[in-house]
Amino acid sequence: MDDYKNVIETLVFQEIKEQVEALKEGIRETISLNEVAAYALNRLPTLYATSRDGWHQQHERAEKELKPLIVQQVKRAIMAVRRDTLREPDPIPPEEMVGEARALAQVKKVLDRADLTWNEVPKAVEEAIKLIKIRGTLDFKKLSKTRRNAVVVQDYIKRKRRKEGDWKREESLSYFGPKSTTQEREFSTFLEAEAADFVNVLERLVHSLTEQYLQRLSPQVRQKVVLHEVVAYTLNRVPPMYATTAKGLKQLRLKAKEEYGKKIVTTIHEAVTTIVQNPHRSVSPLPFKRKQGDCQRALEQLKQILNHREIDCNNVALVISEALEQTISGFLA
């Protein structure tokens, strides 16, 4: 969800990157990043935050108190988890991964633009298409047909942008990309965690139960309570349950209801009581969170630019990627 984030996710991804970079190239290819992250996260405390101040406080706490544990659990996860190339793909359903922040992270990865906001996405897409039309044919016609098919859209755009120098410099989103400043690295890692194919099963369950609980409160009490603060408070007091597959999601969801249902409801009540008694809280948004409404405006503009009526947070990155591929194909037919 976009209004509360587990700070540990970003720190785990950063640690995974550092440890995997130290491995031999052949071993790297056997690592399933999502599964390593989920394995480690399920063995670490949760540190959800709902505001900028809360994010920085949780981040500082994790660095000071949990760094050795994070290093240890990531190391164990890398040893325990390997990519199974023979296993049939079983991705988590897209509707379970909905979120504006996640969608934006995926778009940034497609366009290789870590600096993008939703307001800038339509123009960036137009520029990408224009750049391919202006210069695309010259380079791609020099490639063999096999080589053309192997070129990834965002890699091509990245090379052209660096050659032309008409787009802003930014850090690559590659898991094994070059080093950057601390702030850029944290931002890049945040985006990777946002776009990852795992989910804490408890988020949706706690969110739903909290909505039901708040509906039963009097209007006077309800107006003093912010839903995402109750959710974050509760999630920080129950064990995490991260899943990377549809099967795992179903199993963990059932386990969550059976083993933690009562505890969750009790903790929600505790959270509401605590928040009502302590009304003065930070209202600054989470870092990297964009203004509400920017996403919908961007999606409406993209519908016109790409002449595509059905664009939403579930498919926006895929639609953009397909549009760029089609633009390239138009010059190679």
DSSP state of 2: T
Q: Distance between CA atoms of 239 and 158, rounded to whole angstroms? A: 41
Asked if residue 99 has pLDDT above 90, the reply is: no
Handedness of CA 236, 240, 242, 246 (dihedral sign): negative
Q: Alpha-carbon distance 203 to 212, whole Å? A: 14
Query: What is the pTM for the complete model shown?
Result: 0.71
pLDDT tens readout for residues 269-304: 999 999 998 876 666 777 766 555 688 899 999 999
pLDDT digits (tens, 9 = 90+) for 213-265: 999 999 999 999 999 999 999 999 999 999 999 999 999 999 999 999 999 99
- Cβ contact 117:290 at 8 Å: yes
- Rounded CA separation 40/27 (Å): 19
Question: Cα dist. 267→93, 231, 235, 274 in Å?
Answer: 28, 10, 9, 10
Could you read off the pLDDT of 46-96 as tens digits, one per residue? 999 999 899 999 999 999 999 999 999 999 999 988 766 656 678 888 777
- pLDDT surpassing 80 at residue 179: no
- The whole-number average pLDDT for the span 17-22 is 91
Hey, what are 4's tokens?
A: 């509360």
**What pLDDT, on a 0 to 100 scale, did the predictor assign at position 153?**
46
Query: What tokens were used for 104?
Result: 């934006």
pLDDT over threshold 60, residue 326:
yes
Does the pLDDT at position 306 exceed 70? yes
**Exposure string (b/e) for 42-54, b if CB count within 10 Å is 16 or more?**
bbbebbbbbbbeb
Comparing C-alpha atoms, which of 1, 2, 5, 77 is closest to residue 34? Answer: 77
pLDDT band at 191 (very low <50, low <70, confident <90, very high): low
Residue 285 burial (C-beta neighbours within 10 Å; 0-12, 13-18, 19+) = middle
**Does residue 157 carry a pLDDT above 90?**
no
Compare 116 and 181 and report the one with higher pLDDT. 116
Please say if the pLDDT value at position 204 is more than 60: yes
| Cα→Cα distances 238→40, 104, 264, 293, Å | 16, 29, 7, 32
pLDDT of 13 strictly over 80: yes
- Compute the distance between CA of residue 90 and CA of residue 256 in angstroms, rounded to an integer: 21
